[in-house]
């Protein structure tokens, strides 16, 4: 019986020839772990911070066309800073804000410091890169009368009693300096009849916030209403519920609170840009205006940095100076005075 013809083997020669390598050797090649992933694994940071770091580091990689990290020099980072200054934004402006640019630089500085500590690189190119100077951040507080006008509009929003009961409780917490997102994340067991416990807050500003009698009354009234409506008020249940047709009974989100405050501004016919965070600014200014010691005021607002809190001190001094001048005008109306 004739044997079958052997299967031919073709061997390339000349310019097309390729070096052969055993399959086992190819499989055994070590794959270098992405240093960005390793950096994030090593850091004890929150999910939102991790996303920001990842976005900024990957953005830098794309900009420098995935140049090897060990080959990055201080000129690259300076040029990247210039790029951020000239980058068009979604709103049509040229250049990111100083805060956004400085955040990107701080991320690179943290990453390259880690690379140096790990001895993956020998020189830190971000060591001497300076951040962009920013103008002092101004507060956007409101006059007390304007805040009261917003509160007066709660009963007219939606023409429904349940909205008024819930919205008044939310508004009281915003008046105590809570951010809208923090109010949205509150569970029923975060309120202990005296204060609310803010967790997983921005800039690690967790802590207990003591409440005024008016705020406690508004929250207690709202919780009684929740029980009457059949809502579960047990542990880990959302404190504030969505009362719209879409998503009724679910946790009220940030945008629901934001739209509530915007509605109150429209009802009050305010010409200012009204939004929830202005109530936090008002709270901080009023603390300093009320002569609360700065350390205590920072504790109540859950602000760790004295530099960050300085904006409220500066604004309170301005308001006190204005009030003192107005008092001088009133006292000098019937006297021989310069004014």
Residue range 246-275: mean pLDDT, rounded: 94
| Between 323 and 8, residue with greater pLDDT | 323
**If DSSP codes are grouped into helix, strand and coil, which group holds residue 177?**
coil
Architecture of domain 35-117: Orthogonal Bundle (1.10)
pLDDT at position 219: 97
In the predicted structure, residue 244 carries a pLDDT above the cut 70: yes
Tokens of 286: 């009023």
Least confident of 29-33, 199-203, 259-263, 308-312: 29-33
In the predicted structure, residue 23 carries a pLDDT above the cut 50: no
Whether 169 and 154 have beta carbons less than 8 Å apart is answered as: no
CATH number for domain 144-326, candidates 1.10.443.10, 1.10.1060.10, 3.20.20.140, 3.40.50.970: 1.10.443.10
In the predicted structure, residue 206 carries a pLDDT above the cut 70: yes
The pTM assigned to this predicted structure is: 0.67
Assign 22 a pLDDT band (cuts: 50, 70, 90).
very low
pLDDT at position 338: 62
Q: What is the pLDDT of residues 113-125, one digit of tens each?
A: 999 999 999 999 9
pLDDT at position 242: 94
Distance between CA atoms of residues 320 and 326, nearest Å: 10
Instruction: Report which DSSP code applies to 94.
Output: B
Looking at 73-143, list the stretches that DSSP marks H as alpha helix, in order from N- to C-terminal side. 74-86, 98-117
Assign 158 a pLDDT band (cuts: 50, 70, 90).
low
DSSP per position, 10-46:
----GGG------HHHHHTPPPPPPHHHHHHHHS---
Whether 214 and 174 have beta carbons less than 8 Å apart is answered as: no
Domain boundaries defined on the chain: 35-117, 144-326
The whole-chain average pLDDT of the chain stands at 86
Residue range 184-193: mean pLDDT, rounded: 96
Q: What is the pLDDT of residues 55-71, one digit of tens each?
A: 999 999 999 999 999 99
Distance between CA atoms of residues 306 and 265, nearest Å: 31
First to last CA, the chain: 127
Distance between CA atoms of residues 84 and 97, nearest Å: 9
**If DSSP codes are grouped into helix, strand and coil, which group holds residue 292?**
coil
In the predicted structure, residue 329 carries a pLDDT above the cut 90: no
> Could you tell me which of 207, 226, 223, 225 has the C-alpha nearest to residue 215?
223
Tokens of 11: 């061997």
pLDDT at position 170: 97
């Amino acid at each position: 019986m004739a044997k079958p013809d052997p299967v031919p083997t073709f061997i390339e020669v000349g310019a097309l020839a390729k070096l052969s390598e055993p399959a086992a050797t190819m499989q055994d090649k070590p794959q270098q772990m992405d240093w960005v992933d390793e950096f994030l694994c090593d850091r004890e940071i929150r999910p939102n911070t991790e996303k920001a770091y990842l976005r900024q580091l990957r953005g830098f990689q794309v900009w420098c066309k995935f140049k090897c990290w060990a080959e990055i020099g201080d000129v690259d980072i300076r040029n990247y800073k210039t790029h951020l200054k000239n980058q068009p934004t979604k709103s049509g402006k040229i250049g990111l804000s100083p805060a956004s640019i400085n955040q990107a630089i701080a991320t690179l500085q943290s990453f390259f410091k880690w690379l140096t500590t790990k001895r993956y690189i020998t020189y830190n190119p971000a060591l001497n890169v300076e951040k962009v100077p920013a103008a002092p951040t101004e507060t956007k507080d409101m006059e007390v009368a304007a805040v009261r006008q917003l509160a007066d509009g709660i009963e007219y929003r939606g023409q429904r009693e349940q909205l008024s009961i819930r919205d008044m409780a939310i508004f009281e917490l915003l008046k105590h300096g809570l951010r809208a997102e923090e109010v949205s994340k509150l569970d029923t067991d975060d309120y202990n009849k005296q204060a609310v416990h803010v967790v997983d807050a921005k800039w690690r500003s967790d802590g207990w916030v003591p409440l005024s009698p008016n705020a406690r009354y508004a929250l207690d009234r709202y919780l009684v209403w929740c029980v009457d409506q059949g809502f579960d008020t047990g542990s880990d249940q959302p404190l504030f519920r969505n009362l719209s047709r879409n998503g009724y009974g679910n946790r009220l989100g940030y945008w629901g609170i934001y739209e509530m405050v915007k509605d109150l501004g429209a009802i009050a016919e305010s010409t200012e840009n009204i939004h929830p965070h202005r109530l936090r600014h008002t709270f901080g200014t009023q603390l300093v205006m009320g002569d609360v010691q700065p350390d205590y005021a920072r504790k109540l607002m859950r602000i760790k940095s004295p530099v960050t809190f300085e904006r409220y001190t500066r604004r309170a001094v301005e308001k006190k100076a204005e009030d003192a001048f107005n008092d001088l005008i009133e006292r000098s109306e019937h006297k021989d005075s310069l004014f």
